[in-house]
Structure 1
Amino acid sequence: ENDLSAGHIAEQLGEDIEQVFKTLVLRGDKTGHFVCVVPGEDEVDLKKAAKISGNKKADLIPMKELLPTTGYIRGGCSPIGMKKPFPTYFHETCILFDYIYVSAGVRGLQLKINPDDLVKYVGATVCDLVSDK
């Protein structure tokens, strides 16, 4: 299965796409790597992400760096269990739901979890991270 899109995953799960979150790894110009977890249909706002993480500038890391940095491949990146703990930020809409879905660390496998529990477990900050529509 090559369709890794949040829309496809939501359809397979029979869930609202707003509850399917993707995990993105960024690099800030001051703090280094950090993680943003955003709704699958949204795009992370790089300026917002940089500011909230204490950077002036931030960019997504190149795909070739994902596995050596996190231990995960594209489409299977989870906010839980990375090679080392990185500062993690969840988009604020996660708290609107009783549960959300994030990658369980393998392509095609999702973890259904209470967002408050997940945020607490990974020591994340909840904030506005996505581009305005």
Structure 2
Amino acid sequence: MNKTNAIRILESHKINFEIADYTVDDDNLSGETVAEKIGVSHEEVFKTLVAKGDKIGYCVFCIPVNFELNLKKAAKASNNKSVELIKVKDLFPLTGYIRGGCSPIGMKKLFPTYIDETAQLFDKIYVSAGVRGMQIHINPDNLKNLISGEFADLI
């Protein structure tokens, strides 16, 4: 297993997790495809989206891959009047991660992070390990605590 920054952080905090590897199709980076390749429901796999709020600046939202971020709910959860997703070209310089491999763990800076409340329905959820082709299977409370996140209604 290649150790990503996210994995090193989890190990250094002694947080239990598993890894799920899958073959990447550069023509289809959808989260639904990732869920199917690792053999779990779409609701258990969470994508990481980065946005900019009009009041607090950059913030991160983790939502199930089969849903779209509700920008009004995201703004309310993050104490903004409005939020707008950043452009893909800005993702790597800001976070250190690329599209399809953006993890809420180990970004260049710890941004305010909000995890959709449906994560609490599962003992464990999947988030990117920081590279395409690898997911981290982690307890949602452990994830929230590690990244100083909050659960919120985002979808």
- TM range, smaller chain: over 0.9
Question: What is the deviation of 1:129?
Answer: 0.3
Q: Equivalent pairs: percent with the same residue?
A: 57
Quote the residue 1:45 is aligned against: 70
Question: What is the deviation of 1:52?
Answer: 1.2
Superposed structure 1 runs of 4+ greater than 3 Å apart: none
5+ residue gaps in structure 1? none
Q: TM-score, normalised by structure 2?
A: 0.82
Question: What is the deviation of 1:33?
Answer: 0.1
Question: What is the deviation of 1:4?
Answer: 1.3
Counterpart CA distance in 2 for 1:6 and 1:35 is: 17
Quote the residue 2:139 is aligned against: 114
Question: What is the deviation of 1:20?
Answer: 0.4
Q: TM-score, normalised by structure 1?
A: 0.95
Structure 1 letter corresponding to 2:55: K
Counterpart CA distance in 2 for 1:17 and 1:6 is: 8
5+ residue gaps in structure 2? 1-24
Counterpart CA distance in 2 for 1:46 and 1:108 is: 28
Counterpart CA distance in 1 for 2:42 and 2:101 is: 17
Question: What is the deviation of 1:54?
Answer: 1.1
CA offsets, 1:17-67, max 9 Å, x none? 110000000000111000000000000000111111111111000111100
Quote the residue 1:25 is aligned against: 50
Larger Rg: 2
Counterpart CA distance in 2 for 1:85 and 1:76 is: 17
How many residues are paired up?
Answer: 130
Counterpart CA distance in 2 for 1:80 and 1:88 is: 10
